[in-house]
């Protein structure tokens, strides 16, 4: 009998299992997760979960009965330790082993750490898992000030949540702008101002040098330039590295993630890798991408399920992302790069606008702030073969929604 084993029970792993069943897969499906909790949604952990007055209850990805109803064997709280490809077997840390006809690695990523003095003090946090969020939430109840290290998505979502709790917030960012890896300069600039208005002290160009403490507990941080800031909580949000240990030890190709081809297959044709842990070929220019998002996880999962069910195709979905930071609701479609030209569409001073990024005259990405209709339209436009010109987009009467509508209307 066919047997699919999925390592990793996050958004990607759970979606593979579900899509196999909805696609009519009759073989065995086993889903292995190393956390104890019923598989849950991660994005709310840095948003609603930490917001004042919200329920401290995680949102499961699927209800408990979903797994039994769909004949998905869910094994939580166990870690895959060894992949023996010759015997098509995965060994688990509870002493058991699983054999597969197809293996899907959806192992995710793990937070990067900073080797600075004081990083082992109580009150120093990072945020990825439910257990991390529970610890952070508990500490926030008695804290008065926080220092956030890294002005990326997680750091700034947490900063906004901490301000909503009335805590004093300092954000240290080593580069010259927030979310610089993901956002165009104009959108970064808007977030710099907006976090200032929320009351956070955003220190650009200041990396973390040292975490100070007393009696084993954090009291503050100092930055590279030597400034000191008080903090009862330090949140480190400086990016992730893919969890590729299992693949490396099994001799699979790895380069900033588990290397897969356009079909999301690893260097072993019986093994796929998807989601945060996978480095896949972008359709253009031979570049490789490794994306950390719900969309990437679930779309790649659906894609792999279709392949296992016998419909091979090249993966080519438009990436999209979102982030909520206090009153700021940011949605991104496509991937901008340094050097792209930008056009702003909408009401910038009123905080409802989109930044359209163009490369060689073609639309490549849209960042929408408090403009969800632009975002949905952008996803449609970017997955179609048509593009507005920068001049068209700069016309005050231009909207992405109208442009997308006209695409649908065209024969």
Partner 1 sequence: MPKVTFHHDGGNADVLDVEPGTSLMRAAVRNGVRGIVGECGGQAMCATCHVYVRDRYLDALPDISEDEEEMLDCTTAPRDADRSRLGCQVVVGADLDAIEVDVPASQV
- In the bound complex, what is the minimum distance in angstroms from residue 195's beta carbon to partner 1? 19
Q: Give the DSSP letter of residue 25.
A: -
- In the bound complex, what is the minimum distance in angstroms from residue 245's beta carbon to partner 1? 28
- In the bound complex, what is the minimum distance in angstroms from residue 88's beta carbon to partner 1? 31
Q: For partner 1, which is the closer residue by CB, 38 or 240?
A: 38
> Segment 359-378, which members bind partner 1 (CB under 8 A)?
370-373, 376
- In the bound complex, what is the minimum distance in angstroms from residue 295's beta carbon to partner 1? 8
Task: Please answer whether residues 161 and 148 qualify as being in contact, where contact means their C-beta atoms are separated by less than 8 angstroms.
Answer: no
Q: For partner 1, which is the closer residue by CB, 54 or 144?
A: 54
Q: Which two tokens stand for residue 88?
A: 């098509």
Residue 172 belongs to what H/E stretch?
Answer: strand 168-173
Q: Which two tokens stand for residue 369?
A: 């702030």
- In the bound complex, what is the minimum distance in angstroms from residue 38's beta carbon to partner 1? 10
Helices 372-383 and 400-409, interaxial angle, to 10°? 40
Q: For partner 1, which is the closer residue by CB, 195 or 371?
A: 371
Q: Which residues contact 302 (CB under 8 A, 6 or more apart)?
A: 15, 19
Say how far apart CA 99 and CA 88 lie, in whole Å.
Answer: 6
Q: For partner 1, which is the closer residue by CB, 184 or 324?
A: 324
- In the bound complex, what is the minimum distance in angstroms from residue 61's beta carbon to partner 1? 8
Mark the segment that binds partner 1 (CB under 8 A) among 65-73, 99-107, 153-161, 182-190.
65-73
In this chain, which of 26, 36, 69, 84 binds partner 1, going by CB under 8 A? 69
Say how far apart CA 298 and CA 283 lie, in whole Å.
Answer: 19
In this chain, which of 52, 65, 141, 142 binds partner 1, going by CB under 8 A? 65
Q: Which residues contact 298 (CB under 8 A, 6 or more apart)?
A: 11, 12, 15
> Segment 292-331, which members bind partner 1 (CB under 8 A)?
294, 298, 322, 324, 329, 331
- In the bound complex, what is the minimum distance in angstroms from residue 112's beta carbon to partner 1? 24
Q: For partner 1, which is the closer residue by CB, 69 or 94?
A: 69
Q: For partner 1, which is the closer residue by CB, 195 or 380?
A: 380
Task: Using alpha carbons, select from 359, 317, 367 the residue that is nearest to residue 341.
Answer: 359
In this chain, which of 25, 66, 315, 353 binds partner 1, going by CB under 8 A? 66
* Total number of residues that touch partner 1 (CB under 8 A): 27
Exposed e or buried b per residue across 156-169, where buried means at least 16 C-beta atoms within 10 angstroms of its C-beta = bbbbbbbbebebbb
- In the bound complex, what is the minimum distance in angstroms from residue 370's beta carbon to partner 1? 7
Say how far apart CA 258 and CA 246 lie, in whole Å.
Answer: 10
Q: For partner 1, which is the closer residue by CB, 376 or 407?
A: 376
64 near partner 1 (CB under 8 A)? yes
Is beta strand 328-334 parallel, antiparallel or unpaired with respect to 320-325?
antiparallel
Question: What three-state secondary structure class fits 67?
Answer: helix
> Segment 93-152, which members bind partner 1 (CB under 8 A)?
none
Task: Using alpha carbons, select from 13, 10, 44, 46 the residue that is nearest to residue 30.
Answer: 13
- In the bound complex, what is the minimum distance in angstroms from residue 66's beta carbon to partner 1? 4
- In the bound complex, what is the minimum distance in angstroms from residue 372's beta carbon to partner 1? 4
Say how far apart CA 41 and CA 53 lie, in whole Å.
Answer: 19
Going from the C-alpha of 394 to that of each of 324, 328, 357, 389, the distances in angstroms are: 27, 23, 12, 9
Q: For partner 1, which is the closer residue by CB, 214 or 349?
A: 349
> Segment 24-63, which members bind partner 1 (CB under 8 A)?
41, 43-44, 47-48, 55, 59-63
> Segment 382-401, which members bind partner 1 (CB under 8 A)?
401
Q: Which two tokens stand for residue 214?
A: 């007393």
Q: For partner 1, which is the closer residue by CB, 288 or 329?
A: 329
Q: For partner 1, which is the closer residue by CB, 179 or 254?
A: 179
Task: Please answer whether residues 277 and 257 qualify as being in contact, where contact means their C-beta atoms are separated by less than 8 angstroms.
Answer: yes
- Phi first, then psi, for residue 20 (nearest 5°) are -60, -45
Largest Cα separation within the chain, whole Å, is 71
Q: For partner 1, which is the closer residue by CB, 156 or 234?
A: 156
Residues that bind partner 1 (CB under 8 A): 41, 43-44, 47-48, 55, 59-66, 69, 294, 298, 322, 324, 329, 331, 370-373, 376, 401
């Amino acid at each position: 009998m066919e047997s699919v084993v999925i390592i990793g029970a996050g958004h990607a792993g759970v979606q593979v299992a579900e899509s196999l069943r909805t696609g009519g897969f009759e073989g065995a499906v086993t889903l292995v997760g190393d956390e104890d909790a019923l598989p849950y949604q991660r994005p709310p952990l840095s948003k609603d979960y930490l917001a004042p007055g919200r329920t401290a209850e995680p949102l499961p990805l699927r209800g408990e009965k979903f797994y039994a109803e769909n004949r998905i064997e869910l094994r939580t709280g166990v870690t895959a330790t060894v992949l023996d490809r010759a015997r098509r077997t995965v060994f688990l840390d509870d002493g058991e082993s699983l054999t597969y006809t197809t293996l899907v690695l959806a192992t995710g990523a793990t937070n990067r750490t900073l080797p600075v003095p004081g990083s082992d003090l109580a009150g120093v946090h990072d945020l990825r898992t439910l257990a991390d969020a529970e610890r952070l939430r508990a500490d926030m109840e008695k804290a008065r000030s926080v220092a956030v290290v890294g002005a990326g998505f997680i750091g700034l979502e947490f900063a906004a949540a901490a301000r909503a709790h009335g805590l004093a917030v300092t954000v240290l960012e080593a580069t010259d702008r927030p979310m610089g890896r993901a956002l165009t300069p104009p959108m970064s600039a808007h977030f710099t101002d907006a976090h200032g208005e929320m009351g956070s002290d955003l220190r650009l160009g200041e990396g973390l040098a040292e975490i100070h403490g007393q009696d084993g507990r954090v009291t503050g941080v100092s930055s590279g330039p030597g400034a000191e800031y008080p903090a009862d909580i330090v949140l480190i949000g400086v990016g992730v590295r893919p969890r590729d240990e299992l693949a490396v030890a099994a001799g699979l190709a790895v380069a900033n993630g588990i290397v897969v081809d356009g079909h999301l297959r690893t260097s072993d044709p019986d093994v796929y890798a998807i989601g945060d842990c996978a480095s896949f070929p972008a359709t253009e220019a031979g570049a490789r991408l490794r994306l950390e998002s719900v969309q990437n996880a679930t779309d790649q999962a659906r894609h792999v399920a279709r392949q296992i069910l016998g419909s091979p195709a090249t993966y080519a979905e438009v990436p999209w992302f979102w982030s909520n930071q206090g009153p700021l609701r940011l949605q991104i479609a496509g991937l901008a790069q340094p050097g792209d030209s930008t056009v702003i569409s909408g009401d910038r001073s009123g905080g409802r606008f989109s930044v359209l990024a163009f490369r060689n005259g073609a639309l490549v990405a849209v960042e929408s702030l408090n403009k969800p209709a632009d975002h949905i339209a952008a996803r449609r436009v970017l997955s179609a073969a048509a593009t507005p010109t920068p001049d068209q987009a700069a016309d005050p009467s231009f909207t992405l929604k109208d442009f997308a509508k006209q695409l649908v209307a065209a024969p």
